[in-house]
Amino acid sequence: MNDVLYAPWRSEYVSGERIEGCVFCHISSHVKDDSALHVLYRDEYCFMVMNKYPYTPGHFMIIPHLHTDKLEELPSETWLHMSDLAQKSVRLLKEGFNAHGVNIGMNLGESGGAGIAEHVHMHIVPRWQKDTNFITSIAHTRVYSTDFEKIYNRIKELVAEYIK
């Protein structure tokens, strides 16, 4: 017998409009589509966007506008700005979103595990006690426990308060 996990939100991935080229550059250059693209914040150096396929509710990324796959070539002012946003994001998730902890990570290059290797990006992942269970560890399946749009709207409200 085959196990079936019902995941209707994946239909957009299978049948949705494909973005040609770098998805992060597309998001960076389409300011008018921020809501549809789930952008939380943007400024002259970078933007913050919800992860479309999150590890946990509230998982988002900080991404420089500059297209590069080499962290070592990212201008220092951009890197320092991303780090400042990461600090503020941790406070946002702990105080405003009641996360017990936060994972921050970057996977550099395809060999380093990056799903989108051509453009550096930093993951900000809220964590809670016991948020990993048998379905994650044994079945290698993630369960997203709440509505993505509600989480996006909540984090966007918190960004207005915590990211200045």
At residue 142, the pLDDT reads 54
pLDDT for res 4? 47
**Residue 141 pLDDT grade (very low, low, confident, very high; cuts 50, 70, 90):** low
What would the two tokens of residue 134 be?
Answer: 């048998």
Tell me the mean pLDDT in the region 54-61: 92
For the chain, the domains span: 8-162
**Residues 126-149: what's their mean pLDDT?**
66
The span from the CA of 117 to the CA of 131, in Å, is: 27
More confident residue, 130 or 108: 108
pLDDT band at 114 (very low <50, low <70, confident <90, very high): very high
Could you read off the pLDDT of 84-97 as tens digits, one per residue? Answer: 999 999 999 999 99
Give yes or no for residue 98 having a pLDDT over 80.
Answer: yes
CATH architecture of 8-162: 2-Layer Sandwich (3.30)
Q: What is the pLDDT of residue 1?
A: 46
Average pLDDT, the chain: 87
Is it the case that residue 18 has pLDDT exceeding 80? no
Q: Given this model, what pLDDT does residue 149 score?
A: 93
d(CA 99, CA 140): 23
Q: Which of 38, 59, 119, 121 is catalytic?
A: 121
Annotation marks residue 121 as catalytic: yes
Strand extents, DSSP E, 16-67 = 39-42, 46-50, 60-64
DSSP 102: E
User: CA 68, CA 49: separation in Å to the nearest integer?
Assistant: 17
